[in-house]
Structure 1
């Protein structure tokens, strides 16, 4: 079957090829409504489909961006992706989502794949294990925005939470409720994972500011599959904590699983606060006090920053870390 071309559409509609091209590129400034309808009807009647590859080569743009997520299982990640997709859809950009599993090898493969597909830019939750590769992207003036994590000595705009403030809000809330034995539960502490490092540091400083000593046994980190054992070790300490801050949604889920399995009452036996306002927080019994990240606003900011870089690659604004404010949502768990 003969492939329908722009020339076929133009002949069918009784207009020039340039008029059809202007219609396809949504340049309607000097196009009458009747002409627009004729072209639209011709496209439908002929079943014309634009050659995306040819158009990309001509425009030197694929109108596509890549998003490399550290771990797509996190609520924060899915909310950020949704916000990015919303902004890009409005601007007629497509989004390719990749899940790196916090694995630098997977991350490197995804970066190389996205560049081979000639995506116009990348938003990444960087693992921290591909510094040289990101430095090369910067040197090439390739549009990149980091989300959630800072990489030292790399000049790339980053969108992230004020993590120290998030931990401080939690600690101060526990103390106001009469707690002094406050533990913090985290996934593995890795230098490249900014939120974990900054939240632990914020927790330490918040305790010190309240003239409370830091009990190193109360700072617990480990793999998600080991969380049940780690939580049990916390509760079997000679002086067990009376309050626990869960560093993210997956840790909170494991903590709740343990309390339910061991028939611990919240907040009577243990007070809880989780960073990330999980969808079930308000309907769990008791309702869970959380520290919310403005994930949608952060995703929108990352998308806007990237699209600005794509459209003005020579733009020389100073690189910034764009910090967003956490918000305490008081409920019943502390």
Structure 2
């Protein structure tokens, strides 16, 4: 039988002090504590083989664990399909360390949290973590409001369309898509295709209407055959085929707006159809990771016209705001949309006069 875990109460009893005194010692709040008392506590810890836990250090709501929780999608394989979460983990980890915080990652079992999962998260929020950063929202998600009801600090990374009653930090994806369409139209393009990932995400929920609206504002009718949304896990199997079908249309698109991680599949289709970028079609990439895709996927080392990813910046801002909620709960939270700038590169040009 495994040895029984030593409790803080047993340490307090052996040292002849209160549990609160033990907690103060564990949290190094012992400036006014007698040396004799500190020696007794350490002797009791050593003798009993006591291993302090976060919850032991946090005996009351006033104590802080100095730990934040990241809520991410449950399918960890898909988490690493793009560089988004590696960027997030790197940025949040470094920023948290500078602030003296640790990071705990919780992977959801499903997009819609069940009652038992919510119960577990609320338990974490009252014991092991001081607050949550919530990623990968869907348009119908509202479970994070339970944190608000239970006075657990939280910040969502992502903006739900037409809903503002929550704490969020996000990027204005809709505006950048409109700017991308505007720029291509200025170059003379009307047959503009857009491909996205996972239509149920808040990002794609904002991008698609923005694309459709921008086209219509320029008097260009929306064409269903120029839009495609890949479901989760479908990209590797179907992306190249979808691009080939679009490029082989009698009226094929003269320009594409796509996430950067789809460029490898477009590259293959372009070559297979004896086409060239930007001579035959223009390309704007979204969520372009400057330090990743510039080395991993290139069109003859050309610089992309792109919307750079700011996942690192947004995640760091969200963390700073979360820490602000944790340490100064009386302060009013101000949600924000971080701007993204369209950068002009060498994968777009004025539309050729004829498209075969």
TM-score, normalised relative to structure 2: 0.71
Q: 2:207 aligns with which of 181, 199, 207?
A: 199
1:238 pairs with one of 223, 229, 250:
250
In structure 1, how many angstroms separate the alpha carbons of the residues matched to 2:244 and 2:108? 30
Q: Determine if the alignment matches structure 1 residue 273 to structure 2 residue 284.
A: yes
Question: Does 2:98 align with 1:96?
Answer: no
Q: In the alignment, which residue of structure 2 is the partner of 1:212?
A: 220
- Distance apart, 1:187 and its partner CA: 1.8
State the shift of 1:259 in Å: 3.0
Structure 1 residues 88 and 255: alpha-carbon distance in aligned structure 2, compared to 1, 3 A threshold: same
CA distance in 2, matches of 1:127, 1:264: 37
Indicate yes or no: 2:122 matched with 1:115.
yes
Q: Which residue of 1 aligns with 2:325?
A: 309
Give the alignment partner of residue 77 of structure 1, picking from 64, 67, 85: 85
CA contact (8 A) 2:23 2:58 kept: no
TM-aligned CA distance change 1:86 to 1:174, over 3 Å: same
Question: Is the Cα contact below 8 Å between 1:294 and 1:325 reproduced in 2?
Answer: no
Gaps of 5+ in 1: 6-17
CA contact (8 A) 2:325 2:331 kept: no
Deviation at 1:26, TM superposition (A): 6.8
Q: Distance in 2 between matches of 1:97 and 1:112?
A: 16
The question of whether the paired residues in 2 share the 8 Å contact of 1:100 and 1:107 is answered with no
Length, aligned pairs only: 308
Structure 1's 116 and 183: CA in aligned 2 closer, same or farther, altered over 3 A? same
Corresponding residue for 2:346? 332
Aligned to 1:140: 150
Where structure 2 has 5 or more consecutive residues not aligned to the other structure, the ranges are 1-5, 9-19, 349-356
Is residue 167 from structure 1 mapped to residue 200 from structure 2 by the alignment?
Answer: no
Shift of residue 217 of structure 1? 2.0
Deviation sequence 1:64-113 (CA, Å, 0-9, x none): 11112345333233323322222211121111123448x32568776544
Whether the 8 Å contact between 1:293 and 1:327 is mirrored in structure 2 is no
Partner of 1:297: 313
Q: Is the 8 A contact 1:145 1:305 kept in 2?
A: yes
Tell me the residue number matched to 1:264. 275
CA drift at 1:237: 2.4
CA distance in 1 between counterparts of 2:173 and 2:238 reads 24
Structure-2 residue corresponding to 1:14: none
Once the 2 structures are TM-superposed, how far is the Cα of residue 255 of structure 1 from its aligned partner? 2.7
